[in-house]
Amino acid sequence: MLFTFVALILTNKQTNMKKIILTVAAVFAFGFANAQETKFGVKGGVNFANLSGDIEDNSAKVGFNVGGFVEIKVSDKFSVQPELLFSTQGTKFEYSETFDGSTINYQEKANLSYLNIPVMAKYYVATGFSLEAGPQIGFLTSAKYKVEANGEEEEVDAKDDFESIDFGVNFGAGYDFTENLSAGLRYNVGLSNIAKDSGNDKISNSVFSVSLGYKF
């Protein structure tokens, strides 16, 4: 049901994205039908987020991710892992300007919050160690610009400047310390242009994350 809903949302979006989501839905259904073992868990970690594409002089900002997952074991080596994560992303700019001999240091941040749904295919290459890849769809929940200068700050809503849906691909690796405790590294490559009314310019999300997970 979840992926049928997602596919309907994407009806007027890019056709290739919809096809990929439907393919993932089929893989997900196959995983449940052939599951040897299913485990639920929670996870959380740190994001090093940035925006890439037609944007200059920006740098990564630190955020976080937190949520839950289901690992569906299809075989001893292969599993499918859908997740639901709240993730803070965006980018920042730092610069200085001089007025009448006084220098003002500025820090501007684009603070973006998403509800992300990645579906990862995991392959265990050795005991406890896995490689993973899979698509991700994200729903923008909040977007704000924050400016700090000489100890003062101002924040304005920017949700109208960004697309409400983001699509990307994840690549990563994980290690199970025990049957319950695990750690993971992941890189998200944004495929969508998240900037509204940007003309020919394209801006995409780019997020490297480190996380810890616990399976029940």
pTM of this prediction?
A: 0.83
What percent of the chain has pLDDT above 70? 84
Q: Is the dihedral of CA 119, 121, 124, 130 positive or negative?
A: negative
pLDDT digits 0-9 by tens, 1-35: 333 334 443 444 455 555 656 665 665 565 556 66
pLDDT digits 0-9 by tens, 47-103: 999 999 999 999 999 999 999 999 999 888 999 999 999 999 999 998 888 887 788
Q: Is the dihedral of CA 211, 84, 175, 190 positive or negative?
A: negative
The dihedral formed by the CA atoms of 51, 7, 79 and 69, expressed in degrees to the nearest 10: 70
Domains of the chain are 37-215 (2.40.160.20)
Which tokens hold the place of 203? Answer: 């801006």
Of the given ranges (31-45, 73-87, 154-168), which has the lowest mean pLDDT?
31-45
pLDDT band at 115 (very low <50, low <70, confident <90, very high): very high
CA dist., res. 96 & res. 156, Å (int): 21
Which tokens hold the place of 196? Answer: 């509204």
From 169, 162, 167, select the one nearest 55 (Cα to Cα): 162
